[in-house]
């Protein structure tokens, strides 16, 4: 019998879901210039996969590869794909072209590139220092990508607003602010809303992406201060 590739024996179910997350990130990046709404939905689907792999790892046991695969997959899904989504919004709105470069084109390239660079650094810091702490410093890339994708599906298409949002996340991802990990129950509840935003983004005046964007922004602003108190209050 020929030897099997080593990944067959070393990858767990959670790792397979993580790898799928990376594939979804590529699909979102590929769709961004042509079908931005599809790209936004794929980013949210990748976020669901990102949460699911954690659930599976907790129940079936993780592997030594898990934490490394997770950060690598997140680079594709939550840094490159959202950056290309935003670039696509600006390219269409401002009719940008590489044939006739303008300062607007430079701006549309530099800010998304900075988002990717800072996102990669932030993911590296998380893997090296925060993975077992229960709290991470700076806005998680998953949260940033969720806000950007949900906002787009909720109807936020103004290129200036989208660009400013991306620029804000460049700073927030490395800000010295601690974000606690979501409890499993809360993450699953958020996943239900994400599923609605993915499957029926236009239903009832875009209710699902608007709810998702609202919940994500609430956690972005209030989570560092109040979420730990809420969790402690429910435990007592």
Q: Give pLDDT tens digits for 169-186.
A: 999 999 999 998 888 788
- Output the CA torsion sign for 226, 229, 233, 234: positive
Domain assignment present for residue 124? The answer is yes
Task: With 0.85 as the threshold, say if the pTM is over it.
Answer: yes
Number of domains in the chain: 1
Question: Distance (Å, rounded) from C-alpha 122 to C-alpha 141?
Answer: 8
**Residue-level pLDDT at 191:** 87
Q: Is the pLDDT of residue 134 over 50?
A: yes
Q: Which domain holds residue 95?
A: 6-235
**Residue-level pLDDT at 57:** 75
Domain assignment present for residue 28? The answer is yes
pLDDT digits (tens, 9 = 90+) for 63-116: 777 778 888 999 999 999 999 999 999 999 999 988 888 999 999 999 999 999
**Residue-level pLDDT at 104:** 94
**Residue-level pLDDT at 26:** 97
Domain assignment present for residue 1? The answer is no
Assess contact for 102 and 47: CB atoms under 8 A.
Answer: no
**Residue-level pLDDT at 158:** 95
**Residue-level pLDDT at 236:** 42
Question: Distance (Å, rounded) from C-alpha 171 to C-alpha 194?
Answer: 25
List the CATH number of the domain containing 155.
1.20.120
Residue-by-residue DSSP string for 149-198: HHHHHTT---HHHHHHHHHHHHHHTTSS-EEEPPPHHHHHHHHHHHHHHH
**Residue-level pLDDT at 2:** 55
Domain assignment present for residue 150? The answer is yes
pLDDT higher at 16 or 91: 91
Q: Is the pLDDT of residue 235 over 50?
A: no
**Residue-level pLDDT at 38:** 98
pLDDT digits (tens, 9 = 90+) for 188-225: 888 899 999 999 999 999 999 999 999 999 999 998 88
Domain assignment present for residue 73? The answer is yes
Confidence class for position 149, pLDDT limits 50, 70, 90: very high
């Amino acid at each position: 019998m020929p030897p099997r590739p080593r990944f067959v024996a070393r990858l767990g179910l959670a790792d397979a879901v993580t790898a799928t997350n990376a594939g979804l990130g590529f699909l979102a990046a590929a769709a961004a210039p042509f079908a931005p709404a599809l790209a936004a939905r794929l980013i949210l689907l990748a976020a669901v996969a990102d949460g699911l792999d954690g659930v599976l790892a907790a129940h079936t046991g993780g592997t030594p590869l898990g934490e490394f695969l997770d950060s690598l997959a997140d680079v594709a899904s939550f840094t490159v794909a959202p950056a290309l989504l935003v670039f696509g919004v600006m390219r269409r709105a401002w009719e940008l072209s590489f044939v006739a470069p303008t300062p607007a084109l430079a701006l549309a390239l530099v800010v998304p590139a900075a988002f990717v660079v800072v996102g990669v650094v932030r993911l590296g810091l998380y893997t090296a220092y925060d993975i077992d702490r229960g709290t991470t410093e700076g806005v998680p890339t998953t949260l940033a990508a969720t806000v950007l994708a949900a906002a787009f599906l909720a109807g936020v298409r103004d290129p200036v607003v989208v660009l400013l949002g991306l620029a804000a996340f460049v700073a927030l991802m490395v800000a010295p602010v601690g974000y606690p990990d979501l409890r499993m129950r809360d993450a699953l509840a958020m996943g239900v809303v994400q599923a609605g935003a993915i499957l029926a983004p236009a239903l009832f005046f875009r209710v699902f992406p608007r709810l998702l964007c609202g919940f994500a922004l609430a956690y972005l602003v209030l989570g560092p201060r109040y979420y730990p108190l809420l969790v402690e209050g429910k435990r007592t």
